[in-house]
Amino acid sequence: MSLRSLTMDQLTGVINLYPWFGAARKELCARMAKVGGSEWGKAQYSDAALYVASRTLISDIVRSTRMEDYSDKDVERLIKEYINPAVSSQPAQGQEYSDSGQSSVAAGSAESAVGTREYSSPQPADHCRPVRVAGGDFFSPEQYAAVRRDEDNVFSNFRTERYDEPDGRRWEDPELGFCTETLAAIYADQGYFAEAKKIYSRLILRYPEKSAYFASLIEKLQQEN
C-alpha cells in the first residue's frame, strides 16, 4: 500500500489508527501545504514534527510553500544607503519632484544639495565610533576606576593585572620531575610505597605551604606499612 495512493479521508483514518505513523503524518503535511489555506497552521505542523525522525522534514515542507524573496539583489543598495544615507537619498528626491514639473525639479535639486552639505560634513579625525559586541565587556579599567568608591570592596576581589604562574608551580620540574598527589596515591594503591614517599617529599619542596599535609601522608604510609 502506497500512502500517495490514499485519499485524504483514508490518510487521516490511517493517522487516527496509528498516531505514531510518521510517514503518514509527513504525507498529510505535504498535501495540506499544497492545498494552502488557513485550515492548517503552525500548531498542526508542530504536532506532526513530533512523530517524524527529523523536524527538518516538516520544516522543509513548510518553507516550500512560502513565496518570500530571499535573493541578495538589494544588498548593494542597502549597504550604500547605510554608509552614506545623504547621497543615496538624492535620486529619490529628484524622482519625486520630476512629476510636478521642471521648476519643482530645480527646487528639489537645490534642497538636495543643501541637505548633502549639511549631512556629509567630514567628522573630526579623532572621532571614534563605539562598537558594541554581544557578550563583551563594555567598560574599560579607567571607567571602573572613575566609579570606584572608598567604601566599595567589590573591586578588590578581582585581579587588575595579569597573573603568571611562577615557575615553581609547574607540573614538570627538571630537578623534581613529574610529581603530583594523584600519582603518589596511585603508587601507594599498587604497593609502591617507597615511590609514593619520594613523590610526597618532592611535593613538600615544591609546595612549602602544604608541607604539614604531605608529611602527614608520609607518616600515614609508614604506619600502615
Residue 78: what pLDDT?
Answer: 76
Tens of pLDDT, residue by residue over 159-190, are 555 555 555 445 455 455 678 888 888 888 88
Model confidence at 56, in pLDDT bands (50, 70, 90)?
A: confident
The mean pLDDT value for 89-93 works out to 53
Mean pLDDT, range 5-10, rounded to an integer: 82
Q: Residue 203: which of 168, 220, 179 has the closest Cα?
A: 179
Cell triple for 128: 571614534
The string of pLDDT tens digits covering residues 208-223 is: 888 888 889 988 888 8
CA dist., res. 91 & res. 93, Å (int): 5
**Could you read off the pLDDT of 106-136 as tens digits, one per residue?**
445 444 444 444 444 455 556 666 666 565 5
Residue 85 has pLDDT above 80, yes or no: no
Structure confidence at residue 13 (pLDDT): 84
Place 39 in a pLDDT band, splitting at 50, 70 and 90: low
Yes or no: say if 105 and 97 are a contact pair by the CB < 8 Å rule: yes
Task: Report the alpha-carbon distance of residue 178 to residue 196 in Å, rounded.
Answer: 12
Question: For residues 184 and 26, what is the distance between their CA atoms, to the nearest angstrom?
Answer: 61
Helix ranges, 18-121 (H)? 22-35, 42-49, 56-64, 75-83, 85-98, 102-119
φ/ψ (deg, to 5) at 199: -65, -40
Residue 23: is its pLDDT beyond 80?
yes
pLDDT per position as a tens digit, 140-154: 677 767 877 776 665
Return d(Cα 118, Cα 112) in angstroms, integer: 10
What whole-number distance in Å separates Cα of residue 52 and Cα of residue 55? 7
Confidence of residue 59 (pLDDT cuts 50, 70, 90): confident
- Mean pLDDT score of the chain: 70
What pLDDT is stored for residue 88 in this prediction? 52
Are the C-beta atoms of residues 123 and 156 closer than 8 Å to each other? no
Residue 43 — pLDDT band, cuts 50, 70, 90? confident
Cell for 36?
A: 494552502
Q: Determine the pLDDT at residue 34.
A: 77
Task: State which of 23-37, 71-85, 167-181 shows the largest mean pLDDT.
Answer: 23-37
Contact 21, 15 (CB under 8 A): yes
Please, which residues have CB within 8 angstroms of residue 89's CB and are 6 or more apart in sequence? 81, 112, 115
Percentage above 70 pLDDT, the chain: 56
* Pairwise CA distance, residues 205 & 38, whole Å: 78
